[in-house]
Amino acid sequence: MLLSRAFKSLLNQPVINDIRYTQVCFHRFRSVPKLRIPEWRFRVERKIKDDNLTSENQKFIKEVVERDFGKQVIHKGVETYESKTLLKVPEIEPKTWKKGTIRCGVIAKKLGHYPLWKKDGTRICTTVLQIVDNHVIKYIPPNEFEPKERRPLKKYDRKGCILVGAESVDPNILTANYMGMFKGSGVMPTKHIFRFVVDDVAALPPGTPLNVSHFRVGDHVDVRGKTVHRGFQGVVKRWGFKGGPATHGNTKTHRRPGSLSSGVKSRIWKGKKMPGDMGNSWRILKGLKIWRINTKTNTMWVSGYSIAGNPGDLVYVYDTILPLRQPKEPLPLPTFLGDESALPEDIYEDSIHKFNEPSIIYEPEK
Amino acid sequence: MLRKICKVNLIQNNLINSQYVIFRHLSAKAELNEAAESQEKKKTKKPKKALTDMRFKYPEFLPQPDNRLRNPVLERIMRKDMLDRRTQINIPEFYVGSILKLTISDPHSQGKTNSFVGICIQRDRTGLYSKFALRNVIDHQGIEVMYDLYDPAILKIEVLKLEKRLDDKLIYLKDALPEYSTIDVNMEPEILAEGGNIPVNDTVVKMKPFPWMQKWERQGLKGVEDLDKHLNLWRKQQKVKHDSPWDKYDLMKEYRKTITEEEQSEIFSEIFNRINKINEQHKQKAKAARRTISKPQNIG
Amino acid sequence: MNQAEVTKLMSQLKIALKPRHRNLKTPLGPEGRLDKLRQTVTALIKYERIELFYNRADEARGYTERLVSDALRYGDTHKPMMEMADYWLLEKQLVHKLFKVLCPRFENENGSVTKMFNAPRVYPADPKRAYFKRVVLELKGNPYPTITPDSSYRNKNLIHNVLLDAAMKDFYAEKERQQQLLEQEQTLNSVEESKK
- Three state DSSP letters for B101-124: EEEEECCCCCCCEEEEEEEEEEEE
Domain boundaries in chain A? 74-230+278-348
Contact between B179 and B115 under an 8 Å Cβ cutoff? The reply is no
Taking the CA atoms of chain A, what radius of gyration do you get in angstroms? Answer: 28
Distance from CA of A270 to the nearest CA of B (A): 39
Are A28 and C158 within 8 A, CB to CB? no
* Option in B20, B56, B62 nearest C50 (CB): B20
Q: Which of A291-300, A347-356, B190-199, C45-54 is predicted with the least confidence, judged by mean pLDDT?
A: B190-199
Are C127 and A24 within 8 A, CB to CB? yes
* Residues near C93 by beta carbon (within 8 Å), at least 6 away in sequence: none
Contact between C42 and C98 under an 8 Å Cβ cutoff? The reply is no
Are B29 and C150 within 8 A, CB to CB? yes
Question: pLDDT above 90 covers what percent of chain A?
Answer: 53
The 8-class DSSP code of residue B290 comes to: H
Q: Could you please report the per-residue DSSP string of A138-196?
A: EEE-TTT-----SS--GGGTT-EEEEEEEEE--GGGB-HHHHHTTTTT-PPPEEEEEEE
Residue B35: pLDDT band (50, 70, 90) is very low
Per CB-CB distance under 8 Å, the chain A contacts of C161 are 52-54, 57
Are C131 and A51 within 8 A, CB to CB? no
Amino acid C127: pLDDT: 73
- Please provide the size of chain C in residues: 196
Distance from CA of B91 to the nearest CA of A (A): 13
> Which of C6, C26, C31, C45 is the mutation pick for testing B, counting most B CBs within 10 A?
C6
Amino acid C88: pLDDT: 97
B266 to each of A154, B54, B78, B162, B263, how far by Cα in Å? Answer: 55, 12, 15, 28, 5
Distance from CA of C42 to the nearest CA of B (A): 12
Kind and range of the H or E run holding B10: helix B2-17
Amino acid A6: pLDDT: 53
Q: How far apart are CA A260 and CA B90, in angstroms?
A: 62
Sign of CA dihedral A267, A273, A277, A282: positive
Contact between C62 and C114 under an 8 Å Cβ cutoff? The reply is no
- Reply yes or no on whether the pLDDT at B9 is more than 70: no
Residue A80: pLDDT band (50, 70, 90) is confident
Give A163-187 pLDDT, tens digit per residue.
999 988 888 889 998 988 888 888 8
ipTM: 0.86
Q: How far apart are CA A289 and CA A301, in angstroms?
A: 8
Higher model confidence: residue C119 or residue B34?
C119
Distance from CA of C83 to the nearest CA of A (A): 40
Q: How far apart are CA C37 and CA C32, in angstroms?
A: 9
Secondary structure E strands in chain B: 99-105, 113-124, 131-138, 141-148, 154-161
- Reply yes or no on whether the pLDDT at A236 is more than 70: yes
User: What's the mean per-residue pLDDT of chain B?
Assistant: 85
Q: Which of A79-83, B20-24, B290-294 is predicted with the least confidence, judged by mean pLDDT?
A: B20-24
Q: How far apart are CA B178 and CA B221, in angstroms?
A: 18
**Which amino acid is located at B108 in the chain?**
H
Amino acid C32: pLDDT: 95
Are C151 and A56 within 8 A, CB to CB? no
Are A57 and C158 within 8 A, CB to CB? no
Burial class of residue B79, CB neighbours in 10 A (0-12, 13-18, 19+)? buried
The 8-class DSSP code of residue A92 comes to: P
Amino acid A121: pLDDT: 93
Neighbouring CB atoms inside 10 A of B185's CB total: 12
The 8-class DSSP code of residue B222 comes to: S
Amino acid A355: pLDDT: 95
Domain boundaries in chain B? 49-272
Give B258-269 pLDDT, tens digit per residue.
999 999 999 999
Residue B28: pLDDT band (50, 70, 90) is very low
Query: Which residue of A lies nearest to B69 if distances are taken between CA atoms?
Result: A311
Q: Which of A33-47, A309-323, B74-88, B97-111 is predicted with the least confidence, judged by mean pLDDT?
A: A33-47
Residue A312: pLDDT band (50, 70, 90) is very high
Taking the CA atoms of chain C, what radius of gyration do you get in angstroms? Answer: 27
Q: Could you please report the per-residue DSSP string of A263-294?
A: TTT-SPPTT---SEEES-SEEEEEEEEEEEEE
Per CB-CB distance under 8 Å, the chain C contacts of A21 are 123-125, 127, 130
Contact between C177 and C171 under an 8 Å Cβ cutoff? The reply is no
* Option in B39, B129, B246 nearest C34 (CB): B246
Are C3 and B125 within 8 A, CB to CB? yes
Buried b (16+ CB within 10 A) or exposed e, B238-254: eeeeeeeeeeebbbbeb
Give A335-356 pLDDT, tens digit per residue.
999 998 999 999 999 999 999 9
Neighbouring CB atoms inside 10 A of B112's CB total: 11
Query: Which residue of C lies nearest to B56 if distances are taken between CA atoms?
Result: C6
Q: Check: CATH 3.40.50.920 for A74-230+278-348?
A: no
Residue B64: pLDDT band (50, 70, 90) is very high
User: What's the mean per-residue pLDDT of chain C?
Assistant: 91
Residue B2: pLDDT band (50, 70, 90) is very low
Ramachandran assignment for C154, one of left (phi > 0), alpha (psi -120 to 50 degrees), beta (any other): alpha
Q: Which of A11-15, B50-54, B131-135, C177-181 is predicted with the least confidence, judged by mean pLDDT?
A: A11-15
* Option in B88, B107, B128 nearest A115 (CB): B128
Q: How far apart are CA C58 and CA C37, in angstroms?
A: 10
Per CB-CB distance under 8 Å, the chain A contacts of C165 are 56-57
Distance from CA of A128 to the nearest CA of C (A): 16
pTM: 0.85
Give A287-300 pLDDT, tens digit per residue.
999 999 999 999 99
Q: Check: CATH 3.40.228.10 for B49-272?
A: no
Contact between A332 and B76 under an 8 Å Cβ cutoff? The reply is no
Q: How far apart are CA C88 and CA C107, in angstroms?
A: 21
| β-sheet bridge partners, residue A233 | A276
Ramachandran assignment for B4, one of left (phi > 0), alpha (psi -120 to 50 degrees), beta (any other): alpha
Which residue, A8, A322, C1, C118, is CA-closest to B74?
Answer: C1
Q: Where are the alpha helices (DSSP H) in A52-148?
A: 55-69
Amino acid B20: pLDDT: 33
Residue B23: pLDDT band (50, 70, 90) is very low
- Reply yes or no on whether the pLDDT at C77 is more than 70: yes
Amino acid C138: pLDDT: 95
Residue B291: pLDDT band (50, 70, 90) is confident
The 8-class DSSP code of residue B176 comes to: B
User: What's the mean per-residue pLDDT of chain A?
Assistant: 85
Higher model confidence: residue B199 or residue B291?
B199
Ramachandran assignment for A303, one of left (phi > 0), alpha (psi -120 to 50 degrees), beta (any other): beta
* Option in C125, C127, C158 nearest A52 (CB): C158
Q: Is the minimum CB–CB distance between C174 and chain A shorter than 8 Å?
A: no
Give B116-151 pLDDT, tens digit per residue.
999 999 999 999 999 999 999 999 999 999 999 999
B6 to each of A22, A215, B60, B254, how far by Cα in Å? Answer: 11, 65, 62, 47
> Which of B69, B251, B262 is the mutation pick for testing C, counting most C CBs within 10 A?
B251
Q: How far apart are CA B29 and CA B33, in angstroms?
A: 9
The 8-class DSSP code of residue A206 comes to: T
- Please provide the size of chain A in residues: 366
Residue C147: pLDDT band (50, 70, 90) is confident
> Which of B255, B257, B260, B268 is the mutation pick for testing C, counting most C CBs within 10 A?
B255
Is the link from the previous residue into B211 a cis peptide, with omega within 30 of 0? yes
Residue B294: pLDDT band (50, 70, 90) is low
Q: How far apart are CA C123 and CA A357, in angstroms?
A: 70
Amino acid A84: pLDDT: 56
Amino acid A328: pLDDT: 92
* Residues near B145 by beta carbon (within 8 Å), at least 6 away in sequence: B116, B118, B133, B134
Contact between A308 and A225 under an 8 Å Cβ cutoff? The reply is yes
Q: How far apart are CA B239 and CA B217, in angstroms?
A: 7
Neighbouring CB atoms inside 10 A of C9's CB total: 16
Q: How far apart are CA C88 and CA C69, in angstroms?
A: 14
Are B26 and C31 within 8 A, CB to CB? no
Higher model confidence: residue A3 or residue B226?
B226
Per CB-CB distance under 8 Å, the chain C contacts of A112 are none
Pairing of strands A282-294, A276-278: unpaired
Ramachandran assignment for A287, one of left (phi > 0), alpha (psi -120 to 50 degrees), beta (any other): left
For chain C, the straight-line distance linking the first and the last C-alpha, in angstroms and rounded, comes to 73
Amino acid B6: pLDDT: 38
Amino acid A81: pLDDT: 81
Q: Is the minimum CB–CB distance between C128 and chain A shorter than 8 Å?
A: no
Q: Could you please report the per-residue DSSP string of chain C?
A: -PPPP-SS--PPP-S---SS------TTHHHHHHHHHHHHHHHHHHHSEEEEEHHHHHHHHHHHHHHHHHHHHH-TT-HHHHHHHHHH-SSTHHHHHIIIIIHHHTTT--S-SEEEEEEPPPSS--TTTTTS-EEEEEETT-SSPPSS--HHHHGGGSHHHHHHHHHHHHHHHHHHHHHHHHHHHHHHHHHHHHH-
Amino acid A23: pLDDT: 41
* Option in C127, C156, C168 nearest A21 (CB): C127
Give A246-270 pLDDT, tens digit per residue.
999 999 999 999 999 888 878 888 8
- Reply yes or no on whether the pLDDT at A54 is more than 90: no
Contact between C39 and C26 under an 8 Å Cβ cutoff? The reply is no
* Option in C130, C161, C167 nearest A53 (CB): C161
